Structure 1
């Protein structure tokens, strides 16, 4: 679950830094207010202190940008020579999953009404490349439990990879308001052992 671990590490570090900066600014503000009340108002220039303040902010900014970019690279590794490709199409108001390289070009879709939610089936331990687009308006594929979220645009393909290292099932949904039934635009992503996936992929039109 590389995505979830990377997201957790980035969020934790940036939250700690943001909290520390907030406390420092709050302390300086309180000290300034108390000092102003205790002394007569007079303006004094302290270029050295201001220079240290600006340098500290610049150092934090450079670190955060560089570290976040590096973590983003770790979060989305390059796909291998033959990843499992799945073409994902969002539409009002459900999802269409196609496996163009599987025997019979396996396809899973649904209406997203009640229990009729499509299931994106993937094998564990294998790199999966999702090619995401939209048939009508902007949608967003979001799996909260795995920390995956990518927008789907009409006439454009967004590509990202994922690798799930254990079996399980997670609920996904559309995270971009897309009309009347946006609230019901849910799906499942299911990770199964490689042998079970191969059996499913060659099982014709059997439900997921």
Structure 2
């Protein structure tokens, strides 16, 4: 699960950096409080500015900011690297309040949908080990495709297509949700994403649209 691993690495590093900065600031603040407590009657400095100290402070902040921005951009590039293999394409359309998954590369241009009521959740079927290109759009308002297990989310806009590529390295089934408030049934706008072996995926893709239950 490339997206999941990249997100985990990025979150861990940024948490460590945030923790270090918090400890440094807390230590300086505590030192200032203890050193400048009223009982010691410390005379305030007559200097209004400390340009050298301030320049060091700004420089340290700039280094942290440049590092975090650069690291995040690099991880984002890793997450969206193009694969030399031709990807499997799935057209995902969000609507109030469910999803449609279309497979234009199949002979019958197979499409999977549902009502997102009770057990009638559509299933996004993908093969393991193959890059899958998701082309995401919306029929009405802004939605957001979110798979918590994969740590991945992307918005769906009307009259616009967002594209991303993912590769799942093991079989399984995980729940997906809409992460953008889109109306009174937003809370029920769920779907399944299911990864199967390439052979099973090819067999499923050649079946008729009424064979979704066989997945």
TM-score band, normalised by the shorter chain? Answer: over 0.9
- The whole-number CA distance in structure 1 between the counterparts of 2:164 and 2:4 is 15
**DSSP-derived class of the 1:95 partner:** strand
RMSD: 1.2
Q: Which residue of 2 aligns with 1:159?
A: 163
Q: 1:43 to 1:93 in 2, by over 3 A?
A: farther
Q: Which residue of 2 aligns with 1:121?
A: 125
Task: Give ranges in structure 1 of 5+ residues lacking alignment.
Answer: none
**DSSP-derived class of the 2:112 partner:** strand
The TM-score, its normalising length taken from structure 1, stands at 0.96
The CA deviation at 1:79 is 4.2
- 1:162-205 CA-to-partner distances (Å, cap 9, x unmatched) read 00011011100000000010000000000000000000000111
**DSSP-derived class of the 2:36 partner:** helix
Does structure 1 conserve the Cα–Cα contact (< 8 Å) formed by 2:142 and 2:182? yes
Q: Which residue of 2 aligns with 1:83?
A: 87
Task: Give ranges in structure 2 of 5+ residues lacking alignment.
Answer: none
Give the alignment of 1:15-54 within 5 angstroms. Answer: 15-37=15-37, 38=40, 39-44=42-47, 45-54=49-58
Kindly report structure 1 stretches of 4+ aligned residues shifted beyond 4 Å. none
Does structure 2 conserve the Cα–Cα contact (< 8 Å) formed by 1:85 and 1:128? yes
- The whole-number CA distance in structure 1 between the counterparts of 2:123 and 2:152 is 16
The CA deviation at 1:76 is 1.2
Does structure 2 conserve the Cα–Cα contact (< 8 Å) formed by 1:89 and 1:132? yes
- The whole-number CA distance in structure 1 between the counterparts of 2:84 and 2:105 is 15
Number of corresponding residues: 208
Q: Which residue of 2 aligns with 1:12?
A: 12
